[in-house]
Each structure stands twice: as structure tokens, then as C-alpha cells.
Amino acid sequence: MNKETRSVSRSSVGGRRRVASRMAVLLSVATGVAGFAATGASASSAPVTIKMFSGSGLAKVNQALATAFNKSQHGVKVVLLTVPDADYNTALPRDLQSSAGPDVAAPAALVQEVADHQLLNLNSYAKQYGWTKKFSKQALAPGRVNAHGVIGTNGSLYMAGGQAGVVTGIFYNRALLAKLNLTVPKTLAQFGADLKAAKAAGITPIVASNADGLTGHLFDMLLGDYMGARKIDNVINNVPGSTVNTPGAVAAANQLASWMSAGYFNSDANAIQQTQSYQEFGAGNGLFFISGSWIESGGNFPASFQYGMMPFPPLHAGGPYSAMESNALAFAISAKSKHQAQAAEFLNWLGSRKAAKVYVKVGGGNALGLAKITAPSLSASLTKQTENIYQLVQKDNGVLNWLQNQGTTVNADYPPQLQLLMAGKTTGSALIQKLESDVQADRQAA
């Protein structure tokens, strides 16, 4: 699934549940790919060749990254071996079983591949290259797995690389925001006041689609504010003892319900899907649009439409920013790789400013460390705004995953529960109780 067609489905969340394409020079391979022949230096003077296993979806970005890396290195060369995205999840585990397989890959199922001893423990390389000092704890957490098979901040590191990707936040209509004389909200209460002001002026406060449950983007960020990034991610990562049935989660659901009942969404939100919501917002029919930076590419809005992006405000003034982010430059090294040190060198390069600039330029993502973090500004360009939001969230350790990524039952119930909430047929408390029941069902099924 590409970024433009994201929804709250499991395949869309955070984008890229490790099935997205990754970097390097594309080589021609058969669609079926039964295995890869070993590749290496043919002579002592030849560079060591690192094979990157990838789906086919982001070839342009991958080519640019590989080209930049290969130009900056003399002893290591990266080539990409691709399969169709639909074949990725079955082809990767098979080829990781062989020393002739890929050296570097984005895991298809991190926990299972760690349990099967297919991925290299990267703790020693993290120490060698200083990754734990360079990146925040939460930035590395999705690549850690502990002895109990739980993803999170306390396990060994199995994925590393740069920090670039998409980020969620609040898109705004520049003309309407100026007309209402509004500024960047510093607290959730101030954002609520902005919604009320728009409604009073006859302007739709938030354009959203909820036939596909995409008010979930807003709900997830509310959970980040009320529960805290660490607590909600513990639920998603199935940390023992973690629960979504907390006073904070109920408060988040009640807040969303109050905005729904106040008429702060387009009246057809429960009846339309993502594409129609793009059309409504792009036509200038609303003040805010809650989504992720993937909408900035793909021609979702008319070229003449002027819009910007601001961070989702913290619960209290001066509090931490939180948002859902992806790391498109995080990879694992095969435990059977013959060139693990060189593969680690490549992962380290992915954390460089050069790699980040390539990703932002070609892929339209946002990377850590490209520019000085500043206070959110309405006058900045959209690119600078989104890049700054990505970094603000990183600085505050506010990186979230999407709750619906916790499991298939939660994912299936997310849209209908949000639709019921918007229709006034359930309550915030009942919604949280239902999601907690789903979380437990997914854990028992695992």
C-alpha cells in the first residue's frame, strides 16, 4: 500500500509495517525468487557487495539512496534484490535461511524472525557506532525485542538505521486560518477553542472520513496526549501488564466524542472515505484535516490549494509533543550474512545527514537532524513545517504507533467503533472497554 492510500487498516498503520521497499540499485530478479546467488568481491580490490532485499514499491527512493551511498564509499557497494510487495512476507523468511540470501532487509515479522534466529543482534554495533546516543529511546524501540518476544525499549536491538519517514499532525487551510486570526495552538484546550471559533464562523472545523475509520488518526494522538507515548506503545507492543483501559484513555475517547457531538466534523464524515475527504478539504471546505505527511505527495489536492501543517498540541502548555511516525530507514542484518560488518556500516550511513537529505528530497519524508528545531511557524513552508514536527516529536520521545497495529481484532473493530462514537451510539468509556477486550483477545490468539 502506498502512502497516498493509507487508512487505519493494519497494512496502513505507521506506515509501512516493514513491507515497504528499501534502498539500493535495482537488479533484475524473477517474480517468484526462490533464492539469491551469493554475491561478493571477485578480487581483493573489488568492493564488498551488500545485498538488500526489498519490495518493489519505492524503487525511486531506494535507487537514490543506493546511488548516494555507493558514491560515498569505496569498499562497500549496495545492490537491491526486489520482489513484488505481495510476495515480500513469504519470500524474505525463506531467503533469510541461506547464507546466499540478502545481507540487509526490513523484517516482515520482526518477532518471529528473531525467534527463528534469522536476524543479527545489533547491540555491539549500536555501541560501536553510538546509535543509542544518536537516536532517542523511542526511535529505536520498534527495533528492539526482549527474551519474551515483546517489542519495546528494553530488548536487544535488531533494527537500526536512519530516522526518516512520515509524521502525523494537523493540516490547516492557510486562508481560513488567517481569516479567523488563529495561531498555532499550544495546548489541547486551545485547539478545542479554535474548533469552536471555526464552527461559530460557519466553517467546518475538521474535515474527516470515518467510513474507513480515519478519525483514528486523531484518536491515536489524543491517546498519546492523555496516556503518554510510552504507555500506549506498551499496549501496542503487548508488554505484560499494559492495558488501554485507563482513565487517560477514557478521557481521550470522551474528548473525541465531545468534539463529534459538538458538530466539529463535516456532516458526511461517517459516510465518506479518504479520497472524498481529500476532495472536501482541497476544495477549501474546512479549516483542519488530521492526517499524515504522506498526503503531501500524490496530487491529493489542487495545485492552487494553500495549506500548512502544525503539530498536534500537548495536553498542557510546555508538555511533550506526540505523533505517529515511521522510520523508513530502519533495517535488520541477516544472521547468516557473510558481510555483517559491512552491512552495519551501511546501516550507520543511513543515519547520516546525507541519507536523510536524499530521503527527504526524493521521498518527501521528514528526517531527524536536517535543520535546527524551531517553534512551530505558520509562515514556514510545508516541507519545513513537517520536517520540524518530525524532529519535535523525536526530541520529546513522543513517537507513537497506531493502536490498531496491536492486533487483528483491534484493527477490525477500530472503524466501526469510531463510527458508532460519531453517531452517538456508544460512549468513550464503552469504546475503551471494547478495545481492551479486543487487545486481550489478540494477545490470547498470539
In the chain, what are the domains?
21-105+107-158+329-364 (3.40.190.10), 168-325+380-445 (3.40.190.10)
Closest C-alpha among 154, 149, 73 to residue 111: 149
Cα separation, 276 vs 282, in Å, equals 10
Q: Which amino acid is at 310?
A: M
Closest C-alpha among 74, 72, 36, 73 to residue 54: 36
Report the SS3 class of residue 42.
Answer: coil
Closest C-alpha among 112, 133, 128, 125 to residue 160: 125
Q: Which residue has the cell 519524508?
A: 365
Cα separation, 141 vs 220, in Å, equals 18
Cα separation, 446 vs 441, in Å, equals 9
Residue 167 near residue 389, CB atoms below 8 Å: yes
Residue 17 near residue 92, CB atoms below 8 Å: no
Phi, psi of 199 (to 5 degrees): -60, -45
Closest C-alpha among 149, 346, 420, 107 to residue 354: 346
Residue 249 near residue 221, CB atoms below 8 Å: no
Q: Output the furthest CA–CA distance in the chain (Å, rounded).
A: 74
Q: What is the pLDDT of residue 11?
A: 32
Closest C-alpha among 126, 187, 138 to residue 397: 138
Phi, psi of 283 (to 5 degrees): -85, 0
Alpha-carbon Rg for the chain, nearest whole angstrom, is 22
Residue 374: how many CA atoms within 13 Å on its side-chain side? 15
Report the SS3 class of residue 54.
Answer: strand
**Spans in the chain with pLDDT lower than 50:** 1-43
Helix (H) and strand (E) counts in the chain: 17, 16
Cα separation, 182 vs 163, in Å, equals 32
Q: What is the pLDDT of residue 31?
A: 28
Report the SS3 class of residue 331.
Answer: strand
Strand partners, 52: 80, 104
Residue 226: its H or E element: helix 216-227
Residue 170 near residue 184, CB atoms below 8 Å: no
Residue 309 near residue 385, CB atoms below 8 Å: yes
Length of the chain counted residue by residue? 446
Q: Which residues contact 330 (CB under 8 A, 6 or more apart)?
A: 106, 142, 143, 159, 160, 161, 162
